[in-house]
Amino acid sequence: MSSFDQLGLIAPLLQAVRDLGYDKPTPVQEQAIPLVLAGRDLMAGAQTGTGKTAAFALPILQRFAPLASSSTSPARHPVRALVLAPTRELAVQVAASFRDYGKHLPLRSTVVYGGVDMNAQIAELRRGVEVLVATPGRLLDHVQNKTVMFNQVQVLVLDEADRMLDMGFLPDIKRIIALLPKERQNLLFSATFPDEIRTLAKTLLRNPAEITVTPRNVAAELVTHVVHPVAREKKRELLAYIIQTRGLKQVLVFTGTRIGANRLAHQLRLDHIQADAIHGDKTQAEREAALADFKAGKTAVLVATDVASRGLDIEGLPQVINFDVPRSPEDYVHRIGRTGRAGLTGEAISLVAPEDMESLAAIIPPDGSLGDLALEDSITSLRCRKCFWMRSQNAAGEEGSLM
Ligand code: AMP
């Protein structure tokens, strides 16, 4: 693998990646950076955790470095790069990456997202920023408010494009694209490529270079997939048991609904497990606090819905647990993208009730195309006396069994 020096990056960017302790580019960076520097449009198959943010942020910063100005005049800092992201959390992380990578360059960046007061964002935008990271809805609020101008935009990035479509942002994205100058570079990053993404890519991208660092719908290779068969009404008990017996200190648990997430976090707390929930009904401040506590190790379990989990950059998360089976293969891939990151191994544990088996089979093909799949016997693998008890009850055909 090449080093960052061989990718043609300028000294202030090389210094920034050194400051961050990166010694070599990740595969997506190695492939994307020269293409983006050459001005190509790009369609990149890469999920969060692959280093995709630097793959677009470094060459974008390099492209605008010659235009950097130390003037305080807002007119000297027009929006030149626009990055659209599906969730506030991802937008915040991407903006933080731009700041980290651009810290030796006088380029400005900021982030706007919904759920918080607009005034602070308006003030930042009025000062002028070269790189604007935004969630689509809030960006359109600023357009309406005339606090943002797009006439100097030369690069558009759609980050986690598949999730933006899942979240119904396509009409907003189209409205935004219609406001941009026609001559521009377009970079589309997506973990998966369902048909709608391919259709969007055809209208958006001009002669794009295509790169893929994870094959279509294939999850991170370093993840072991474990399935625990369990009766629906025993899932919470088994979850608490797994967490307690294995001493799990930082585990992300997925539920299908916001109400389910709240309820599960509450029940885990009753079991004396520090747990919190993160989902779309929470305020931005609550979401940030929950994420900060989880990252700091104050809460051991974060219960999340799919939407809320997007783009969460929690490095080295050893386990994710699917309390509810995800609705689609894309969701499964995204969920497990939280583990097995940055070269570390991870484990994706799914608690599967008999009635979930069919949907799970659609999501995790038994042909091994997702990687190794271990069908755990929840009972013996955990050496769980209580579970043995439940299993023996099951064998006797009584209620309260695990399966
Ligand atoms: P991303 O996929 O952009 O969300 O990046 C995932 C994580 O990998 C982030 O925490 C980055 O700081 C980190 N990262 C990105 N590029 C590299 C690299 N070349 N070497 C080591 N870590 C990296």
Residue 200 pLDDT exceeds 50:
yes
Who's near 216: CB < 8 A, 6+ residues apart?
A: 45, 192, 193
Model confidence band, residue 49 (pLDDT cutoffs 50, 70, 90)? confident
Looking at the DSSP bridge assignments, the partners of residue 254 are 304, 322
CA count, 13 A, side-chain hemisphere, 137: 12
- The single residue listed with the structure tokens 């608690």 is 351
Please state the rounded mean pLDDT for residues 356-377. Answer: 59
Model confidence band, residue 241 (pLDDT cutoffs 50, 70, 90)? very high
Residue 393 pLDDT exceeds 50:
no
Tell me how far the alpha carbon of residue 127 lies from the centroid of ligand 1, in angstroms. Answer: 29
CA distance 153 to 27: 28
The residue to mutate among 4, 14, 18, 22, having the most atoms of ligand 1 within 8 angstroms of its beta carbon, is: 22
Residue 261 pLDDT exceeds 90:
yes
Model confidence band, residue 366 (pLDDT cutoffs 50, 70, 90)? low
Please state the rounded mean pLDDT for residues 317-346. Answer: 77
The pLDDT of residue 217 is 36
CA distance 21 to 2: 16
Q: Are 294 and 250 in contact (CB under 8 A)?
A: yes
Model confidence band, residue 380 (pLDDT cutoffs 50, 70, 90)? very low
- Lowest average pLDDT, out of 189-193, 223-227, 292-296, goes to 223-227
Tell me how far the alpha carbon of residue 33 lies from the centroid of ligand 1, in angstroms. Answer: 14
Atom of ligand 1 nearest to the CA of 342: 8
Residue 23 pLDDT exceeds 90:
no
Task: Tell me the C-alpha to C-alpha distance, in Å, between residue 4 and each of 41, 161, 177.
Answer: 21, 27, 32
- The single residue listed with the structure tokens 């950059």 is 313
Tell me how far the alpha carbon of residue 342 lies from the centroid of ligand 1, in angstroms. Answer: 7
pLDDT tens for each residue of 68-92: 988 899 999 999 999 999 988 899 9
Residue 288 pLDDT exceeds 90:
no
The pLDDT of residue 386 is 32
The DSSP code for 305 is -
Atom 14 in ligand 1: residue holding the nearest Cα:
51
The pLDDT of residue 47 is 79
Amino acid at 379: I
CA distance 232 to 224: 23
Domains within the chain, CATH numbers bracketed: 4-212 (3.40.50.300), 223-402 (3.40.50.300)
Tokens read off for 3: 């080093």
Residue 12: count other Cβ atoms within 10 Å of its Cβ: 18
Tell me how far the alpha carbon of residue 313 lies from the centroid of ligand 1, in angstroms. Answer: 9
CA distance 107 to 117: 25
Tell me how far the alpha carbon of residue 351 lies from the centroid of ligand 1, in angstroms. Answer: 30
The pLDDT of residue 125 is 97
pTM > 0.75: yes or no: no
Mean pLDDT, all residues of the chain: 84
* Site residues for ligand 1, CB cut-off 6 Å: 22, 25-26, 29, 48-54, 313, 315, 342
Residue 216 pLDDT exceeds 90:
no
Residue 57 pLDDT exceeds 70:
yes
Tokens read off for 14: 């090389």
Model confidence band, residue 4 (pLDDT cutoffs 50, 70, 90)? very high
The pLDDT of residue 383 is 32
The pLDDT of residue 238 is 93
